[in-house]
Chain A
């Protein structure tokens, strides 16, 4: 199981998480910031959470497992990739 952490101090209320994974997230009525509805996720829900993390514009979302934080994985990487650049050499 992985725990979703939503940091309301960083959240800008863009709502990308709610748009992406409405079962896991909502925005409160008063200030519109993130509320994690379902904290512990696995399987399909974990995939949806990863996607929401990757789309969050403010960096307010993260995933934690029992021991340490896990960095979000890219959601969908097409096989025919050509321009993906790292650091310049």
Chain B
């Protein structure tokens, strides 16, 4: 066992839009695990290599119930724990996590999501129609990248899209980092839960052809679990996909000609999307920290009970021992093995839906708007940074 290396601080300033901080890349070259000072003052760990990351993300000796970030999240964590959350998958350990996830898995398999392709194609077409009707310039975030996943999750959960503000607004508030207070975030999450409980009550009274009605009929989840599940599906179902979509599109439009060059060739869209997932992840550091429940020997590094460990996703996606010429975007490469959707038991439930939305969305956009471009100078595009997000595009004005 080695003595713990000196604690590093995570850079608070973004140097490059689409690149992990150079300093962190050079730390990764030096050693696979570093001590890291967390925003809450705790000193924990930052893991740069895949084998150890897999242990952290799948070993039951690590919990998700005490989290933490390298940078100030403005109370996001505390606010999400403010509500009793027996159904919020991101906040559960086994055996409760296993029980809740099992009730949902069948609806998010590769096969089950493939059956939603036509529905997603219709949603993408609707959003493109309204972009055309409005005419350029259009804010791509409002008009497309957030709208497509919002409409999709509305159709899955069986609520009208006119209600989307009921979950979009509190989500924005929760994710606004230090620009909103902890109290505002607590109020936002209460408002969000009020909405999901009203949806559940409505589905109980009038079941429809939707996932909430189906989960109610199956009766495997308690009322509180179902509320947590619904909050989780609404929140995770629209915002992460929307952010990923906007950031990837910003990258595709950042250099003139890139949109046409990347999407106009013979490379299958599935492969392009996978490389986008590897190359332009929205997260600043990566997956929220796990906390060791007992002392764990992380292949030579002793993580003590109570210490947080973060897996450094964005840097691991640039590991030259896994991807040749990793700092080059290359849609012809095999980008599999990226951990944009995490790993282990918490690997994203909706990952195949996110894939479908990006694939159908980008293909549709390239066909309808082959000349899509930024409608403002690229330096004027505003990015929201928070404790955990690297590239949340606030607004992306586009023209064609």
Contacts and interface: CB of A to CB of B under 8 A. Distances in A.
Interface of A: 12-16, 18-20, 22, 26-33, 51, 54-55, 57-59, 75-85, 87-89
A12 B112 contact: no
A33 B320 contact: no
B102 A31 contact: yes
Contact of B31 (A32, A51, A85): A85
A83 B85 CA distance: 40
- Of A18, A55, A57, chain B has the most CB atoms within 10 Å of the CB of A57
A28 to B, nearest CB: 8
B322 A78 contact: yes
A10 to B, nearest CB: 9
B108 interface: yes
A23 B338 CA distance: 22
B156 to A, nearest CB: 15
A81 B320 contact: yes
Contacts of A20: 336
Nearest to A15: B110
A59 B301 contact: no
Contact of A18 (B110, B325, B337, B342): B110
Contact of B320 (A22, A57, A80): A80
Contact of A32 (B108, B299, B348): B108
Interface residues of B, number: 41
A16 B108 CA distance: 12
A22 B319 CA distance: 27
Given A13-B109, A57-B345, A78 B336 contact: no
Contacts, number: 106
Given A27-B111, A85-B31, 10 more contacts: A12-B347, A15-B109, A16-B347, A18-B111, A27-B106, A28-B106, A33-B105, A57-B58, A75-B334, A84-B321
A31 B105 contact: yes
B195 interface: no
Contact of A83 (B102, B320, B347): B320
Given A32-B112, A58-B58, A12 B28 contact: no
Given A31-B106, A33-B105, A57 B347 contact: yes
B49 interface: yes
Given A13-B109, A18-B111, A82 B321 contact: yes
Contact of B321 (A18, A54, A81, A89): A81
Nearest to A78: B324
B321 A15 contact: no
A86 to B, nearest CB: 8
9 contacts: A12-B101, A15-B108, A18-B110, A32-B105, A55-B336, A75-B337, A81-B320, A83-B49, A87-B300
Nearest to B320: A82
Nearest to B301: A88
A19 B325 CA distance: 25
A12 B60 CA distance: 14
Contacts of A30: 106
A26 B111 contact: yes
B343 interface: yes
B207 interface: no
Contact of A54 (B2, B337, B345, B352): B337
Nearest to B26: A83
